[in-house]
Structures are given as structure tokens and as C-alpha cells.
Amino acid sequence: MSTHTVRHEGAELTYDLRGAGPLLLLIAGQGGEGARFAGLTQQLADEFTVLTYDRRGTGRSAGRDTDFDMAQQARDAAAVIRSARPAAARAAVFGQGGGGSIAFELAAHVPDVVAELVVHEAPSIPLLPDAPQRLAFAREIQATYESRGVVAALAQWGASPADFARPEAADHFLRREFLPIAWHNPDLDAVRRTGIPVVTATGAESREEYYTRGARVQAEHLACRCVEFPGDHFGFVAEPALFADVLAKELTGLRRA
């Protein structure tokens, strides 16, 4: 594995490359640290050059403590791809959770760097029939965070600090990312117009969570398949080998489409 940095729009983004083969960018969701993909990267490295990175202001990546900007996050991802492969700056892209929201933004607005796209349980709450209720609940969680702190807010959301790489990542997520990701309405028409081969994905054990329903609605808008992956929202952590098998199969199928 090799580690690199690229300066972009006031941030210094740290990224890792491992393996050989077509370039595959993994975009992390809550907390934004590439280390969350350690097990998955290990499983994929025989078939892909796997590119992971810490999003601005998280993990090893520096950046101004500014509000979360989805468009800037997408431009950061593009900058990492171009730095990793300056001669042929295109990559297959896998985004998980909020990382999937960034992946949609990347495909919609910087499509020249995206070869294939797999989005796993990106929330896209505004697309849901119960969007007003879900967004109101998100605001309640944010209010809990501001009044009672990280642990109480995560408990209300059905999560815990253990779902993050570090306690600081949980605080960063609630302070900067939670509401912008909840409110993000992906431009799926723009994604579809690019012609980028895409599938959305759900976890076999995620049941009827809002992000599972979101993945199915996304697939309807994109006229693409919605694929079931092993495990739940964090199946890539709990079952990296099985998850990697499905992801590699889907990417190969998209490449041949």
C-alpha cells in the first residue's frame, strides 16, 4: 500500500492505493475515513487498484472547518482520482451511505472521472413519500446533539459511537455532515443523462430502513437494477469477503454493459 496527498480547494487530502488492476474509488459515509474500508480493500486488491481517502477535515486529511458542501465533496473525490491516475483519470466508484450521496454528486457534475457507479444505501430522503416526517426527525436528532451531545443524539438515531472509527468522527459527522446528507436530493436525471453504468444497492439485513427504501427509489429514477448485498448498512465491515465478491461481480457486469 502507498500513501499520498493532494492539495485541493484549501484542503490537503490523504489517500491510499493498494492492489493492481482497474482503479476503484471507495467513498466512505458517516465520519468519512477511508480506514473503514480496510477489510473490503484487502479483499478487492487482487482485482482492482483500490483508492481510499479521508474526506476533508476527517482522519488524516486537513481542511478548513467550514460547513459541509456536497458539491465540494464531489470535487474533492475527483481531485483524488486525478491525482491517483493523472494520465487516465477515470475510476469505478463505490459510495456507501453519505459517501453514496457524494458519489451521485460526482457522477452528475464531474462525469468524466467516473467509469462505473455502485451506490450502497445512500439516504436520498427527499425522494421518499414520508420525506417531511423523516426530515423533521433528522432536525430533532440535530437538536438533541446540540443540547445533550453525541451519545444521546446517536441513540435517538439508532446508532452509537461504536459505529464510527473514532469518537471524534462521530462528533464531526453530527456537527457538519448529518443534516446536509439528510437533505441531499441527488440529481438523478443528470446522472442518467451521463450514460454512466450504475446500480444501487441495499443490505440483505437492512429491512425497510429509509436508506433501503431510498436505494429502490433511486433505481426507479435511474432505470437501473437495485442489487442486494450481504449484511446490513455496514455489511462491508462485518462481511468484507462476501461483500467484495458481490461488488466485484457488479462492477465487472457494468464494465461489460
The percentage of the chain sitting over the pLDDT mark of 70, rounded to a whole number, equals: 98
- Position 64 pLDDT exceeds 70: no
Mean pLDDT calculated for residue range 138-162? 95
- Position 257 pLDDT exceeds 80: no
Confidence of residue 165 (pLDDT cuts 50, 70, 90): confident
Q: Are 198 and 225 in contact (CB under 8 A)?
A: no
| pLDDT, tens digit, 9 for 90 and up, residues 203-243 | 999 988 999 999 999 999 999 999 999 999 999 999 999 99
Q: Which pLDDT score, from 0 to 100, does residue 80 have?
A: 97
> What string of DSSP letters covers the chain?
-EEEEEEETTEEEEEEEEESSSEEEEE--TT--GGGGHHHHHHHTTTSEEEEEPPTTSTT-B-------HHHHHHHHHHHHHHH-TTS--EEEEEETHHHHHHHHHHHH-GGGEEEEEEES---GGGSTTHHHHHHHHHHHHHHHHHH-HHHHHHHHT--GGGSSSHHHHHHIIIIIHHHHHH----HHHHHHHT--EEEEEETT-TT-HHHHHHHHHHHHHT--EEEESSSTTHHHHSHHHHHHHHHHHHHHHHH-
Q: How far apart are CA 74 and CA 7, in angstroms?
A: 15
Mean pLDDT calculated for residue range 153-167? 88
- Position 250 pLDDT exceeds 90: yes
Residues with Cβ within 8 Å of 2's Cβ and at least 6 positions away in sequence, in order, are 16, 17, 18
Mean pLDDT calculated for residue range 54-69? 82
- Position 63 pLDDT exceeds 80: no
Whole-structure pTM value: 0.95
Q: Which pLDDT score, from 0 to 100, does residue 66 have?
A: 66
Q: Which pLDDT score, from 0 to 100, does residue 32 have?
A: 85
Mean pLDDT calculated for residue range 42-58? 95
